[in-house]
């Protein structure tokens, strides 16, 4: 293989999946080849070495990554994950999806993603703090409130964001809350950020029901994943009169044909003892069985690749909502399209999180904070507007909702690139 033919560093299978989705949407987006070429590669990819002193006195070095896909609409935005599988290709794929998601919601951002390749469970809180502060220092040349704004992702949380915010602020000499989102409320975090993704999923489901002449109240729902997204979504569904018959976490699922007491389960899992669903009495099912339970709406809010060509034919739901990123394989997507089962795609359904992150950044920049009802109402407006544009394009062009969401996002970015032209 010659040097010209060697794959670029981020070209991994996951990046090729993201690229394939983009290329499949391109014919419907009607954009020029030059713009396709430009958006097919991330704008900036950074690999750093993160040295850290461990509690036993020894030193080790972790690889750290940050990929910024497109800055045409504004600063880039995306999570930081600590995971043994983090790679440049994974960050590049996720950064591309973030670009389409932000553009679809008409947020003035491009996509980014980053992380450290490590086993976070093997690190003490002190070691995690040291890793985070050193990594932040190495990102200083490429992050900033107008350049790139990190957020939590897998195995990072509001404490991680607080350490990042403090490290950045100490370098510039004053508090800069707008450098990260998803931070504690005491240092400029936003109320309602924690519930935003789950609440947004249900806002999108409700709109879809309305378009299909169904009432959300009375719909029988099954929710996979009972964490920040799935747990909140299950509670919101019940608040709107839906009947949640099945929920699951990593330990397995619980089923009750008459409807589960979701509030009590949520309190058990999140408030009282951070317990698992396995400790609750009732009819237990495996995660595989849960996906195939009879229901009207299946919410996938755990992790990627849960429904594939193997189990999709046995899924009985009449609508599928992607709270997680990438829970359906490309083949499963095609099976649901063939059967006429609407799939509310991740870049639309779980966009409530980044939308309220945007609200957090705006509040920090303005030093003016909104109340919970205000934020919820603004989120409902944003999600509703994006949903309507996607639904209408899907009907007008005969596209699946995923294709329509991608095309809608891609068109926004392409229009900005066209208007700005090529520098110099
Ligand atoms: P979380 O860690 O709070 O919850 C994940 C839930 O899934 C937990 O209940 C866990 O027990 C369960 N789970 C883990 N492995 C499982 C398995 N093999 N089978 C069934 N359940 C399993 O995470 P989260 O923040 O709720 O994120 C869930 C998904 O949503 C991820 O794909 C994430 O990328 C995506 N997402 C999250 C946000 C956000 O704001 N939190 C925003 C957009 C997308």
DSSP state of 3: T
- The CA distance from 379 to 385, in Å, is 10
How remote is the CA of residue 324 from the centroid of ligand 1, in Å? 6
Each as own residue / partner, the long-range contacts of residues 141-147 (CB below 8 Å, 24 or more positions apart, any chain) are: 142/44, 142/46, 142/66, 142/68, 143/66, 143/168, 143/179, 144/75, 144/179, 145/75, 145/176, 145/178, 145/179, 145/361, 145/364, 145/365, 146/75, 147/71, 147/75, 147/76
Ligand 1 site residues (CB inside 6 A) read 197, 224-230, 248-250, 287, 301-303, 323-325, 350, 353
Q: pTM for the whole thing?
A: 0.95
Q: Whose CA is nearest to atom 8 of ligand 1?
A: 227
Tokens of 264: 């009590």
- C-alpha distances (whole Å) from 166 to each of 80, 169, 357, 393, 415 are 16, 5, 18, 44, 37
Indicate which atom in ligand 1 lies nearest the CA of residue 346: 44
Please tell me the distance from the alpha carbon of residue 86 to that of residue 203, in angstroms, as a whole number: 31
- Rounded to the nearest whole angstrom, what is the distance from the C-alpha of residue 154 to the centroid of ligand 1? 9
Residue in the structure block whose two tokens are 């929920």? 247
pLDDT, tens digit, for every residue of 303-325?
988 999 999 999 999 999 999 99
Is residue 420 within 8 Å of 413, Cβ to Cβ? no
Q: Which residues are catalytic?
A: 113
Nearest CA to ligand 1 atom 13: 250
**First-residue to last-residue Cα distance in the chain:** 33
In this prediction, residues 64-82 reach a mean pLDDT of 98
CA 202, 206, 211, 212 dihedral sign is: positive
Say whether pLDDT at 273 is over 70: no
CA–CA separation, 41 vs 206, rounded Å? 36
Q: What's the average model confidence in pLDDT over 12-35?
A: 93
Atom of ligand 1 nearest to the CA of 276: 11
pLDDT tens, residue by residue, 30-41: 999 999 999 999
User: Comparing C-alpha atoms, which of 223, 226, 156, 235 is closest to residue 199?
Assistant: 235
Closest by CA position to 148, among listed 174, 112, 184, 116: 112
387-403 pLDDT, tens digit each? 999 999 999 999 999 99
CA 215 distance to own-chain centroid:
27
Residue 4 CB-half CA count within 13 A = 0
CB atoms within 10 A of CB 293: 18
pLDDT of residue 17: 86
Q: Which pLDDT value is given to residue 270?
A: 85
CA 148–ligand 1 middle distance (angstroms):
24
Give the angle 95-180-388 at the CA atoms, nearest 5°.
55
Structure confidence at residue 3 as a pLDDT band (50, 70, 90):
low
Find, among 324, 319, 308, the residue nearest to 400 by Cα.
319
Reported as a pLDDT band with limits 50, 70 and 90, residue 1 is very low
């Amino acid at each position: 293989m010659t040097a010209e033919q060697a794959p670029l560093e981020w070209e991994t299978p996951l990046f090729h999946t993201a690229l394939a989705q983009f290329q499949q949407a391109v014919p419907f987006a009607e954009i020029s080849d030059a713009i396709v070429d430009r958006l097919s590669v991330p704008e900036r990819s950074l690999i750093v070495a993160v040295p850290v002193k461990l509690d036993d006195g020894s030193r080790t070095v972790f690889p750290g990554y940050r990929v910024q896909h497109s800055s045409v609409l504004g600063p880039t935005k995306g999570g930081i994950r600590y995971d043994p599988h983090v790679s440049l290709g994974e960050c590049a794929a996720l950064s591309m999806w973030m670009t389409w998601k932000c553009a679809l919601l008409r947020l003035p951002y491009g996509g980014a993603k980053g992380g450290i390749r490590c086993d976070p469970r093997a690190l003490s809180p002190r070691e995690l703090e040291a890793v985070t502060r050193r990594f932040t220092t190495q990102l200083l040349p490429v992050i900033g409130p107008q350049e790139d704004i990190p957020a939590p992702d897998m195995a990072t949380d509001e404490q991680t964001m607080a350490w990042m915010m403090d490290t950045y602020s100490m370098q510039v000499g004053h508090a800069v809350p707008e450098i990260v989102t998803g931070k504690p409320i005491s240092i400029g975090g936003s109320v309602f950020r924690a519930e935003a993704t789950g609440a947004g999923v249900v806002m999108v489901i409700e709109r879809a029901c309305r378009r299909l002449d169904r009432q959300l109240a009375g719909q029988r729902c099954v929710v996979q994943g009972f964490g920040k997204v799935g747990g909140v979504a299950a509670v919101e569904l019940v608040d709107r009169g839906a009947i949640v018959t099945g929920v699951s976490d990593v330990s397995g699922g619980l089923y009750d044909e008459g409807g589960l007491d979701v509030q009590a389960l949520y309190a058990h899992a999140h408030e009282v003892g951070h317990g698992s669903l396995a400790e609750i009495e009732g009819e237990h099912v495996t995660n595989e069985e849960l996906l195939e339970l009879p229901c009207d709406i299946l919410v996938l809010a755990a992790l990627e690749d849960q429904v594939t060509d193997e189990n999709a034919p046995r899924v009985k739901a009449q609508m599928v909502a992607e709270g997680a990123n990438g829970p359906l394989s490309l083949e499963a997507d095609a099976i649901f399209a063939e059967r006429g089962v609407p799939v509310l795609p991740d870049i639309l359904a779980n966009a409530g999180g980044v939308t309220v992150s945007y609200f957090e950044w705006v509040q920090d920049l303005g030093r003016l904070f909104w109340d919970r009802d205000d934020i919820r109402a603004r989120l409902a407006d944003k999600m509703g507007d994006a949903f309507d544009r996607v639904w209408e394009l899907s009907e007008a062009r005969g596209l699946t909702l995923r294709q329509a969401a991608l095309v809608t996002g891609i068109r926004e970015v392409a229009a900005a690139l066209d208007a700005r032209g090529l520098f110099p």
